[in-house]
Structure 1
């Protein structure tokens, strides 16, 4: 639950609005944004870990790839269709222009964008956060290739090389040694594959101790924040990097901590929310756009705190309702 709430925080960007020009708010916004960057790497590592466990339990790797890819591809296509017609801030747009025009305009704009960016569309769909789904399919495909050929020992080095390319074509692309990629660096095989490979590697290793997990988290967080602050101070104060070198131990460390505390929060309602994670991930942008207008009435810092919680709670509730009907279950699981 913490990881998906962190994703919501990244996308609702508390205190990032121009109405908070004060340096304190800018710094707070930046710290919140960067502190939450463990979230998507955590999901990649978790996916790789359970993939590895299924293989250890005797699953046939090609069948496993087919099942995972089919499920992810269906969700990707469904939500790409949804975001193709629903515009950002759809509720305010509907109130302003009526119930049809905003959706027609969005669909027309989407078709134009796809015609000009076909490769990016394939990799991330019609909303940027959907890149996670295709990146996961690609990562599982790469793992299947190496494992099927008995080349497991090359998997992490190759995925680390892909990660380096992703950094050079993404966060560090403005440096003299940066490179240009034909697609966004977060898309495709570049950044997600390493975390999935590390999750697979951990699935065949003894469970780490809590002290090791905490050490790796602290090390990763310090490295990540050091890089992020350097980029902000000396390159571009507007930059909000999503993946850095320090992100690797940061994301992996949080997952290792989760492994050492498998029953954390069992006496609370929190574990019951975990099953809604994928649904919240794909849907939360729609909810965010729908309720963003409330910020006009709940102004000030209080809204910045309430907004991410409200987005998460409403999205989780909608996902819960969708799970009650067989026809809509495919949308979110």
Structure 2
């Protein structure tokens, strides 16, 4: 069993330093991906291949988040699955509702607001969401919030199976959902399967990833760092090979959230972190990692604000991208720190 590290920081107690570092890195690359960098320049054959590759190289992050969630929810789920599921999901659901409402109210395009008014700008977005109301239900008020209902769905499925004495079905059920999600998602250009919702959302990908984390903790699985790195690189290679083939069928290279190789990629990354429990054992790591959920739910609204700023300043290309990225990174963290010192912290982040 991995030894739980104890640093001088009281925050380090009962935490695995490398996993906390993994959370931080995953959040950083998700923020970078949402900045949509390198897509307007550095073209090869009239396509932004540097931007495409950069986008896809970040795709390990969300699976890693799901696996980490499954790993740490295991003890509570096995002891009291339904009660644990409710206790786990309730605060997440509240955060999702609050940030969905904020996202529905905050204008995204200040130019449209200035020219046509607040309601005209917002009605366009509200109408867009209502074009697919079921999908919006599983996503929320802004695209990145999909992670929260997906996580809740996955934990609910695990809790139901454990409570029904069918925990052995967690991985098989997860594989079926994941397979359908991939075939009806990125592979839709080939399969022509029409899913009821966008398959990144809901239980399709989250169940297997959370289930993998659960199973690792349940079985006390450990790999050497070499084996874990090999699996991660194999998953990465498969993911990119799939993306290349699908691109030849018309699937945009940077639109693949999950492919078959992505699960292996995320698994390898997690097991590599687990094999190096001391990695990142510092106060800075724990200070950032305890704020990952607040950073996650707030970062995209800050990115939208920064996109308005660079538009007003008429910045372009690399200057624009770096301004949006660095500005969003700094302002999101400062926003979270500021809200922590106010009564709004309980409403917005807990």
2:83 counterpart of 1:66: no
1:207 aligned counterpart, secondary structure: coil
2:18 is the counterpart of 1:13: no
Partner residue of 1:181 out of 186, 195, 205: 195
CA distance in 2, matches of 1:105, 1:50: 44
Q: Which residue does the alignment assign to 2:215? A: 201
Contiguous gaps of at least 5 residues in structure 2: 1-23
1:171 — aligned with what?
186
Residue 245 of structure 1 and its aligned partner are, at CA, apart by 0.5
What residue ranges of structure 1 are gaps of 5+ in the alignment? none
1:182-331 → structure 2 map (5 Å cutoff): 182-204=196-218, 205-237=220-252, 240-267=255-282, 269-292=284-307, 293-294=309-310, 296-331=313-348
Deviations 1:88-141 (A, max 9, x none): 244x555x348xx33x23443455445543212211112111111111111011
* Contact 1:167 1:243 survives alignment (8 Å): yes
Higher mean C-alpha deviation, range 20-29 or range 153-162: 20-29
Distance 1:236 1:25 in 2: 13
In 2, the alpha carbon distance for the partners of 1:330 and 1:43 equals 23
CA distance, structure 2, for counterparts of residue 254 and residue 89 of structure 1: 37
Alignment check: 8 A CA contact 2:244 2:253 kept: no
> Residues of 1 paired with 2:132 and 2:305: CA distance?
27
TM-score (norm 1): 0.89
The answer to whether the Cα contact below 8 Å between 2:56 and 2:254 also exists between their aligned partners in 1 is no
Shift of residue 238, structure 1, vs aligned partner: 5.4
Residues 111 and 288 of structure 1, relative CA distance in 2, 3 Å threshold: closer
- Rounded to whole Å, the distance in 2 between the matches of 1:306 and 1:258 is 31
Asked if the contact 1:232/1:239 (under 8 Å) is kept, the reply is no
Distance 1:106 1:69 in 2: 33
- Corresponding residue number in structure 2 for 1:3: 26
Report the CA distance between 1:25 and its aligned residue.
7.8
> Structure 1 178/168 Cα, relative in aligned 2: closer, same or farther at 3 Å?
farther
Structure 1 stretch displaced more, 249-258 or 138-147:
249-258
Among candidates 63, 68, 80, match of residue 46 of structure 1: 68
What RMSD, in angstroms, separates the aligned Cα atoms of the two structures? 2.3
Q: Is the 8 A contact 1:84 1:106 kept in 2?
A: no
Residue 76 of structure 1 is aligned with which of 70, 92, 96? 96
Moved more, 106-115 or 131-140: 106-115
Residues 320 and 23 (structure 1 numbering): CA distance in 2 closer, same or farther, change over 3 Å?
A: farther
Alignment-derived partner of residue 125 in structure 1? 140
Aligned residues: 324
Distance between the aligned counterparts of 1:97 and 1:285, measured in 2? Answer: 24
**CA–CA distance in structure 1, aligned partners of residues 237 and 284 of structure 2:** 32
Provide the C-alpha distance between the structure 1 equivalents of 2:46 and 2:132, rounded to a whole number of angstroms.
39
